Structure 1
Amino acid sequence: MDDRAIPVHPRGGTVRKQFFTSDDGSVQVPASFIDEAGLSEVREAYNTYKWREEDILLASYPKTGTHFVWEILTMLLKGSSTVTQDSKNLSSIDIFPVTKMDEVYPSPRVLNTHYRLDVLPSQFRNRKTVLVLRNPKDVCVSFYHQDKNMVKLNLDGWDSSPLSTYLRMFLLSKDMPAGNYFDYAQYMWSLRHDPNKHLVFYEDLIMDPVGEIEKLNKFMGTQRPAELIQQIADATNFSKMKQDKVHCHQSKPLQDLVGADGKMLEKAMGLLFRKGKIGDWKNHFTVAENDMFDSFLQQWTAGHDIPFKYE
Structure 2
Amino acid sequence: MDHPRPELFEFHGVSLTHYFTDNWENVQNFKARPDDIVVATYPKAGTTWVSYILDLLYFRQTHPERETTIPIYKRVPFLELSMPLEPSGTDKAGTLTTSPRIIKTHLPVQFIPKSFWEQNCKIVYCTRNAKDNVVSYFHFDRMENIQPEPGDWSSFLKRFKEGKMVFGSWFDHVCGWWEKKQTYSNIHYMFFEDLVEDTGREIKRLCSFLGLSTSEEEKEKIKGDVHFDVMKANRMTNLSDDDTLDFSVSQFLRKGKVGDWKNHFTVAQNEQFDELYKQKMKNTSLQFRTEI
Same fold (TM over 0.5): yes
Superposition RMSD on alpha carbons, in Å? 2.9
Q: What's the counterpart of residue 179 of structure 2?
A: 190
Partner of 2:110: helix, strand, or coil? helix
Q: Which moved more, 1:205-214 or 1:145-154?
A: 145-154
In the alignment, which of 197, 219, 226 is matched to residue 229 of structure 1? 219
Q: What's the counterpart of residue 91 of structure 1?
A: 77
Partner of 1:30: helix, strand, or coil? strand
CA spacing shift, 1:79–1:223, aligned 2, 3 Å:
farther
- C-alpha distance in 2, partners of 1:163/1:269? 14
How far did residue 202 of structure 1 move?
0.6
CA spacing shift, 1:196–1:239, aligned 2, 3 Å:
same
Q: Which residues in structure 2 correspond to 1:153-192 (within 5 Å)?
A: 154-155=149-150, 162-173=152-163, 175-192=164-181
Runs (4+) off by over 4 Å: 79-84, 102-105, 152-156, 246-251
> What TM-score do the two structures reach when normalised by structure 1?
0.77
How far did residue 94 of structure 1 move?
1.3
- C-alpha distance in 2, partners of 1:33/1:88? 20
Q: What's the counterpart of residue 305 of structure 1?
A: 285
Q: Which moved more, 1:116-125 or 1:131-140?
A: 116-125
In the alignment, which of 120, 124, 135 is matched to residue 130 of structure 1? 124
Partner of 1:45: helix, strand, or coil? helix
- C-alpha distance in 1, partners of 2:95/2:9? 31
Query: Which sections of structure 1, spanning at least 5 residues, go unmatched?
Result: 1-8, 22-27, 157-161
Percent of aligned pairs sharing the same letter: 31
In the alignment, which of 8, 11, 19 is matched to residue 12 of structure 1? 8
Counterpart contact for 2:109–2:173, Cα < 8 Å = no
Query: Which sections of structure 2, spanning at least 5 residues, go unmatched?
Result: 82-87
- C-alpha distance in 2, partners of 1:107/1:232? 20
Does structure 1 residue 31 correspond to structure 2 residue 16? yes
CA spacing shift, 1:154–1:199, aligned 2, 3 Å:
closer
Q: Which moved more, 1:215-224 or 1:301-310?
A: 301-310
Counterpart contact for 1:72–1:236, Cα < 8 Å = yes
Counterpart contact for 1:58–1:131, Cα < 8 Å = yes
Does structure 1 residue 70 correspond to structure 2 residue 66? no
In the alignment, which of 288, 291, 294 is matched to residue 268 of structure 2? 288
Partner of 1:273: helix, strand, or coil? coil
Q: How many residues align?
A: 272
Partner of 1:190: helix, strand, or coil? helix
- C-alpha distance in 1, partners of 2:108/2:35? 21
How far did residue 150 of structure 1 move?
2.6
How far did residue 144 of structure 1 move?
0.8
Counterpart contact for 2:143–2:245, Cα < 8 Å = no
Does structure 1 residue 275 correspond to structure 2 residue 271? no
Does structure 1 residue 205 correspond to structure 2 residue 185? no
CA spacing shift, 1:47–1:139, aligned 2, 3 Å:
closer
> What TM-score do the two structures reach when normalised by structure 2?
0.82
C-alpha distance after superposition, 1:84-127 (max 9, x if no partner): 73242661101133233354553322101001221122112342
- C-alpha distance in 1, partners of 2:50/2:37? 12
Aligned amino acid, residue 241 of structure 1 = M
- C-alpha distance in 2, partners of 1:301/1:47? 29
- C-alpha distance in 2, partners of 1:128/1:285? 36
C-alpha distance after superposition, 1:3-41 (max 9, x if no partner): xxxxxx963225xxxx3x4xxxxxx32335628xxx44x
- C-alpha distance in 1, partners of 2:206/2:215? 13
Q: What's the counterpart of residue 6 of structure 1?
A: none
Partner of 1:271: helix, strand, or coil? coil
